[in-house]
Structure 1
């Protein structure tokens, strides 16, 4: 184990021990802290005055939704519109390697910054709020294609479940998790949190979002999706387990699954992108 990883391991375990201690003396503070660590990204913010080069010469639009605002970036093209939805601790600049492949089609491309990411507002990220942001963008831009990476892919699946009758007629999901329960179990395990905190966290989700953790499942949501989908996942993904992608594909009736090897979680690859383009624009797939 490298020194950096060793220090991180010690830090993570120490935080877990502290939360476990708090669970006995101040349980509400313990659950607030553990929920914040789970839902608040540490990186991914963007500063308007120093945007990454790929986002600098775009048309931008800021949307307001209740007390939130979120940012979009537009690369102008033809009438076909593609909406890009990034993942955890990232932002719209993550599509830098994807853009040239999509732009060959001549399409107009729109990227969205997630809650608490990029130039969007807030401290907390959650999929239900992200799905609302996505829906506002879908209503405004009327994209026919949506592409989501990682938890952005999970948000796309949830969005399609909530709002099945939109302009979207094709979806691409890259390296996405399926089950919130799996994410939660991994988080609890990583911090070695006790069963009391685990239970309190699950209750927090029930209170905040009115669903049980085990019911928030991309596999379940996908079983109601009718638009064609392409799901790709890498067998060496160390961030989101390969089985998560397979779960989503197993219940999505009109979908195809691509297994990749050696791309990790990023899923950037010329060959994969060509398969995505073929799926999106091949006449036989329309």
Structure 2
């Protein structure tokens, strides 16, 4: 293992040990700690490939509104705009731990095709404020962006941005013509089980965390399931997923495509979860779909 992986391994073991001790001493303490970990995304510096596109964008600010916890509202979120809307507008929504600039491979060809590209850093991501986030944060951020813009010709979302986009489209009736999802997640409960295994949480503590969060947010996790909500949508859709994705199995993308009436599905090989955003063939296929 390289030094970065060693540090991650040590940090994870420390977390597991700490949570195990907290669970023996105080279940409420362990529950609150586990919830905070579940809602806290990783922050990453902008890689060199993204810095130029970040600095080249027309940047703005929108504020969070309508989130279920008062302390989450009123926080500034960074918005980005590239190009002129000669042909229309395309919105992008990143995934967990990501940034709008992760779509940099799409920006130049979309702008060249006459589209203006707009994006937002979700709360606690990129240049946006906040320390905690969830699928609801993402969905509300997207709704704020699109309400501000009006009609959008296409929406491209990655990873957790996928179920957030589906939920926002199904519940807020946003004015979007076409939707492309890349490596979309599908089920918050499944993700919670994965995180619980990683942290060594027992089923009782995981179930208690889910109940606590559902109560605080005023929504059950099953209401956020990507396939169930996708069945309610009628926009033309393209789902792209890599068969070897280790973060979100391709079965998630397949299930969303099967549930979404008329959706197209394209499976790739050897691109994983993040490199798929930079693959020239994927970019070309998505832009072809955007152009109709």
Q: TM-score, normalised by structure 1?
A: 0.90
Structure 1 residues 175-184 or 94-103, which shifts more?
94-103
Q: Paired residue for 1:63?
A: 62
Q: Deviations over 1:237-285 (max 9, x none)?
A: 1111111111211210121111011111121211122211221213xxx
1:199: how far off? 1.8
User: What are the ranges of 5 or more consecutive residues in structure 1 without an aligned counterpart?
Assistant: none
Of 270, 274, 285, the residue aligned with 2:280 is 270
Contact 1:92 1:111 in 2 (8 A): yes
CA change 1:196–1:216 in 2 (3 A) is same
1:195: how far off? 2.2
Q: Paired residue for 1:245?
A: 253
CA distance in 1, matches of 2:162, 2:44: 17
CA distance in 2, matches of 1:97, 1:21: 45
Contact 1:23 1:196 in 2 (8 A): no
Q: Deviations over 1:15-40 (max 9, x none)?
A: 12321321232222211211111111
Contact 2:239 2:257 in 1 (8 A): yes
CA distance in 1, matches of 2:19, 2:205: 8
Q: Paired residue for 1:22?
A: 22
Q: Paired residue for 2:243?
A: 235
Q: Paired residue for 1:279?
A: 289
Q: Paired residue for 2:140?
A: 132
- 1:111-130 pair list within 5 angstroms: 111-130=119-138
CA distance in 1, matches of 2:54, 2:9: 35
Q: Paired residue for 1:258?
A: 266
CA distance in 2, matches of 1:271, 1:195: 42
User: What are the ranges of 5 or more consecutive residues in structure 2 without an aligned counterpart?
Assistant: 65-72
- 1:120 counterpart SS class: coil
Structure 1 residues 7-16 or 83-92, which shifts more?
7-16
CA distance in 1, matches of 2:126, 2:6: 30
Q: TM-score, normalised by structure 2?
A: 0.89
Q: Deviations over 1:115-142 (max 9, x none)?
A: 1011211100111122111111111112
Contact 1:45 1:116 in 2 (8 A): no
CA change 1:213–1:23 in 2 (3 A) is farther
RMSD: 1.9
